[in-house]
Structure 1
Amino acid sequence: MRELTRTLEVRGPWSLATSRRFWEGFTPAALPGSGAPEDSLRATFRVDADWSAASALVTQVGTTAQVTVRGDGDLDAATGQVACFLALDVDATGWPAVGDRDPVIADAQAALPDFRPCGFYSPYEAAAWSVLSQRTRIVQAAALSRDLVARHGEDGAFPAPAVLAGLDLDLPGRKTEYLHAVARAALEGRLDGRALRAAAPEEAMRSVQDVTGIGPFAAELIVLRGANAPDALPARERRLEAEIAERYGRGAVLAEVSEAWRPFRTWGAVLLRALREERLHEIDPRPGRG
């Protein structure tokens, strides 16, 4: 197994402690208890350049992130993927100005200082999650995902697409069929994170809906949280709509209030949803989950 360490300059606000707090409460892909020091973040994931398994240890030194990746595959690609799922590759020097334009976002930024939205490790894993969570409570879907990792994964990484495509799984409804479709799409390059991130979000969302089992809601999740596109809006998030009404007043429309968030509309939406979950625990009643 090889190791590569890179130092990444992070432009704009960033706090590893906030990233860790946010991600530990992100039920679909919550960080496991890894034994990593409090001032670091550890993750194990599939590298979508070659589907090898990799582990990463991230620490913060001032405005830089030190990323150490270990694995047998493309470690340069693994480093880039870490930067993507931690949103460290986004120039966020303009993010504080969103709070200057919108006092609601300013309050939210103060509650989660130097926030950057952590996403799924890849669009592939986001797509698999969208299938597992269809018509299933999120905590139950998370248990299904953990079981897949334990039974068929590698060193804590989600099963590779080639493995997932061949599994005979006893899952409710058409989940097995849809997971196989997701795996085939990943192998065919249709869930490539760099390509989806480079495309216009609306175009990317249309393209992933060609995968069997992926509808409009799942497509938003894959592009906004899997590819971690920074400037798009979820149009089918009822909890976000409820939070907008609560913070901006009844009759407030997400598409209108979010104009002040450009070019960080995804960030604004995820920030408000994260704070709502911390406050209300609508997804997972255990404190700190979200």
Structure 2
Amino acid sequence: MSERIVPSGPFRLRASAEFGFGQRHAARFDGVMRMAFALDGTFEPVAVAVRQAEDDGPVEVEVLGSADVDRVVAQTARVLSLDHDAASYPEVGQRDPVVGKLMELRPGLRPPLFHSPYEAAAWAVLSARQPALQMATVRDRLAAEHGRVFRIAGQELPAFPSPEALLAVDRVPGLPELKVQRLHAVARAASDGLLDVDRLRALRPEEAHAQVLTLPGIGPFYAALVVLRAVGFADVPVTEEPRALELMGRLYGLGRPATADDVGRLSEPWRPWRTWTAVLVRAAGPLLGTPEER
């Protein structure tokens, strides 16, 4: 079964498919973006093959599995930030010349999100104080052994296990017992609805952040990751991401990483897309020189 999503504003699927972070590996785009994930609410394993025939054009979502197609497509839209009317997003680049140059370097980039707050919180537990590549391998093995493996457009991809399945895992090779206990805490929170995406979206971002902070092993940085890169708030200033602060300091000639006060001042022209623009800074900033070099 296939459905179509029509983007409002610029969108290039290639930019999302080649953007690697968290549970998603950066990969060479072959025309298909493959995703397997636990469905919001029911945690049923599902998979999609996403295609786009032309830049900024309609996106075709092929749904695999027996779940409700509309719900799978809605979640896919959120993951790709296609659930926003982004017609005004390019205006940020007109107001801020630095952002305009970044948009030229990464045209059509929207923030690709974690599949769900549940998966983002699990990744936060896995990756805290650990090498990301090593933990990505652990995550993939955990999904392959305790989730469901789909064959998507000629490639196999596992969906992360449901909270019930995760709670049944007693040990994970490569993880200390404390991290397994914390994964269980995430699974219980997801089962209880604490990590429900609609519930978190109904809160103010700072309220959602405070609630995610109650999970054991998740500090301010990872709570911000869950809230901003899984719930999908588009207009929150990013003050907890060291690399983004470093890049802002360089791009705007501060001579040091940006502070929270700097972010508040510099990101004012970015409204109502401050989160999106911060992700663009993180993705394209390394390709742009300092003010003196420009």
Q: Which interval holds the TM-score relative to the shorter structure? A: 0.7 to 0.9
2:136 — aligned with what?
142
Counterparts of 1:105-254 in structure 2 under 5 Å? Answer: 105-155=99-149, 156-170=158-172, 171-172=175-176, 174-250=178-254, 252=258, 253-254=262-263
What TM-score does the superposition give when structure 1 sets the normalisation length? Answer: 0.87
Shift of 1:148: 0.9
Contact 1:49 1:74 in 2 (8 A): no
| Structure 1 segment 261-280 matched on structure 2, within 5 A | 261-276=270-285
CA apart distance, 1:147: 1.8
Name the structure 2 match of 1:49.
41
Q: Which runs of 5+ in 1 are unaligned?
A: 280-290
Change in CA separation of 1:183 and 1:80 when aligned onto 2, cut-off 3 Å: same
Q: Which structure 2 residue ranges, 5 or more long, are not aligned?
A: 150-157, 289-294
Partner of 2:291: none
Query: Deviation at 1:218?
Result: 1.5
What secondary structure, in the 3-state scheme, does the structure 2 residue paired with 1:29 have?
Answer: coil
Q: How far off its partner does 1:124 sit?
A: 0.6
Question: In the aligned structure 2, how far is the partner of 1:225 from the partner of 1:145?
Answer: 18
- For the residues of structure 2 that align with 1:264 and 1:75, how far apart are their CA atoms? 29
Q: Contact conserved, 2:117 with 2:226, CA < 8 A, in 1?
A: yes
1:38 aligns to what? 30
- Equivalence for 2:98: 104
Provide the rounded CA distance (Å) in 2 between the counterparts of 1:278 and 1:112.
10
Letter of the structure 2 residue corresponding to residue 49 of structure 1: G
TM-score (norm 2): 0.86
| Counterpart contact for 1:27–1:142, Cα < 8 Å | yes
Q: Is the 8 A contact 2:247 2:286 kept in 1?
A: no
Q: Provide the residue aligned with 2:81 in structure 1.
A: 87
Name the residue aligned to 2:67.
73
1:27/1:213 Cα in 2 relative to 1: closer, same or farther (>3 Å)? Answer: closer
Contact 2:18 2:26 in 1 (8 A): no
2:14 is matched with 17
Deviation at 1:233, TM superposition (A): 2.5
Deviation at 1:276, TM superposition (A): 4.5
Deviation larger for 247-256 or 91-100: 247-256
Partner of residue 152, structure 2: none
Where 1:211 maps in the other structure, the secondary structure is: coil
Q: Once the two structures are superposed, what CA deviation does each residue of 1:145-170 show, in whole Å capped at 9, x if it has no partner?
A: 11211222211101111011121124
Over the aligned positions, Cα root-mean-square deviation in angstroms equals: 2.0
Instruction: Rate the CA distance shift 1:278–1:181 in 2: closer, same or farther, 3 A.
Output: farther
Q: Which of 1, 15, 26 is the aligned partner of 2:21?
A: 26
Contact 2:213 2:223 in 1 (8 A): yes
